Structure 1
Amino acid sequence: MRLPRTAHTDRPWRIHGIAGDFRVEDVWVLPTPGGPDDLDRLVRQFAEGMTGGMFGDSAASRALFAVRHKLGALFGWDEPRAGTRPPSLRDRLPADLRDGPRGPDLGTSGFVSLYQLDDEWAAELANRTVHAVLHLGWVPDGAGGYRGRLAVLVKPNGALGTLYMAAVKPFRHLVVYPALLRSVGRTWQANAPGTKAD
């Protein structure tokens, strides 16, 4: 379920002090019911899913990512070029986050982990179109349990980035996020404690 931006901005996340100049683009509740200590499980699932492709199990979503990959290669959107990538947000981290646990990177997706806490994890992606943060929070669900919350924060990279974000917005909301949420939920349930023989 999609949430208003305030569902992210009203919480005391550490990311606010690091990426305060980024726009909160999307906030979603994840179908990941759990206990107070399950954020690490969610972060590991995301890392494995992005690396193993399990979050691209929708044909439409796979097709969109394939098109994006081809366009990125054709136009050089993902290639490092002097002056086109912003400095890493790791340079903005306070000492306790910089020296603390980072969490896993997200494989070939390009997202590099920034930090991981008990209730919050963040990773960044920087290319010629956008500087983005993927933020996972772990919040009480109001019924005695907890759930994951996904927020995407962005800072377009110039006019190209602004046009790119506008062009991909309908595809993100109609195809990518619904497929991602379904896949996250299925994987979460399949890997729930007690569902596999140890």
Structure 2
Amino acid sequence: MRLANSAHTDQPWLIHGIAPDFRLEDVWALPTPGGPDGFATLVAVLENSDFEKDASLPARALWWLRWKLGALLGLDRHADGLDARVQSLRDRLPADLRAAADAHTKEDRSPFTFLYQVGDEGAAEIANRTMHGVLHLSWVPDGEGGWRGQMAVLVKPNGRFGTLYMAAIKPFRYLIVYPALLRSWERRWSAASPQP
């Protein structure tokens, strides 16, 4: 379920100080009910998820099309990525978190690069020709006595082209990608985590 931006901005997350120049694009409640100590389980479940395998045919087709168009248009070249076109946010981290980020092994299946994980929050980043983005995960009270995951997406579009690109893909993200992603995570969570 999509949430108001305040569900993210009103929390004292570390990411606010690390990426104050990024725009908050989306905030989502994750279908991952649990207890107060569930964040590590959430991260493990999401790291082991496989969106391309779990998603519906339309979502997989859209995902495939995005990567094919990206290759054709040169959207995902190394020269447009982290530490090339844009500096990684690792350089903004406190020294202990920077060392952890530098030591973290990148998952080959994910286009994201680990940034940090501390307490009840963590973040990963991605950059290409269109934008520099952050996927922020957190563990929050659900307002009904339980806890759940929350996802925020922060972006810094790359100029006019990046702004137009983000606007063009927004309907597809809302109608196809995010619903499929949340259903996939819900299934993985139900299989891996005991209910509260």
Same fold (TM over 0.5): yes
Q: Is 1:77 the counterpart of 2:85 in the alignment?
A: no
Partner of 1:111: 112
SS of equivalent to 1:107: coil
SS of equivalent to 1:8: helix
Rounded Cα–Cα distance in structure 1 between residues aligned with 2:150 and 2:71 = 31
Partner of 2:61: 63
User: Any conservation in 2 of the 1:40–1:118 contact (CA below 8 Å)?
Assistant: no
| 1:45 Cα deviation from its structure 2 partner | 1.4
SS of equivalent to 2:48: helix
- Unpaired runs of 5+ in structure 1? none
| Cα-to-partner distance string for 1:73-116 (whole Å, 9 max, x where unaligned) | 00111012279621000011112322347766453331001000
Q: Is 1:53 the counterpart of 2:52 in the alignment?
A: yes
Rounded Cα–Cα distance in structure 2 between residues aligned with 1:155 and 1:147 = 27
User: Any conservation in 2 of the 1:86–1:131 contact (CA below 8 Å)?
Assistant: yes
SS of equivalent to 2:185: helix
Rounded Cα–Cα distance in structure 1 between residues aligned with 2:191 and 2:182 = 14
SS of equivalent to 1:81: helix
1:47-196 equivalences in 2 (<5 Å): 47-50=47-50, 53-54=52-53, 56-81=54-79, 85-100=85-100, 105-193=106-194
Q: TM-score, normalised by structure 2?
A: 0.90
Distance 1:71 1:162, change over 3 A: same
> Between the two proteins, what is the percent identity of the paired residues?
60
SS of equivalent to 2:79: coil
Partner of 2:3: 3
User: Any conservation in 1 of the 2:28–2:152 contact (CA below 8 Å)?
Assistant: yes
| 1:174 Cα deviation from its structure 2 partner | 0.5
- How many residues align structurally? 192
Rounded Cα–Cα distance in structure 2 between residues aligned with 1:93 and 1:128 = 24
Rounded Cα–Cα distance in structure 1 between residues aligned with 2:105 and 2:117 = 9
Rounded Cα–Cα distance in structure 1 between residues aligned with 2:42 and 2:166 = 27
Rounded Cα–Cα distance in structure 1 between residues aligned with 2:148 and 2:113 = 23
Rounded Cα–Cα distance in structure 1 between residues aligned with 2:22 and 2:136 = 12
| 1:187 Cα deviation from its structure 2 partner | 1.0
SS of equivalent to 1:182: helix
- Greater Cα shift, 13-22 or 138-147: 138-147
Partner of 2:42: 42
SS of equivalent to 2:138: strand
| Cα-to-partner distance string for 1:116-172 (whole Å, 9 max, x where unaligned) | 012001000011111000010100112222100010000001122111101100000
User: Any conservation in 1 of the 2:125–2:135 contact (CA below 8 Å)?
Assistant: yes
Rounded Cα–Cα distance in structure 2 between residues aligned with 1:139 and 1:59 = 32
- Unpaired runs of 5+ in structure 2? none
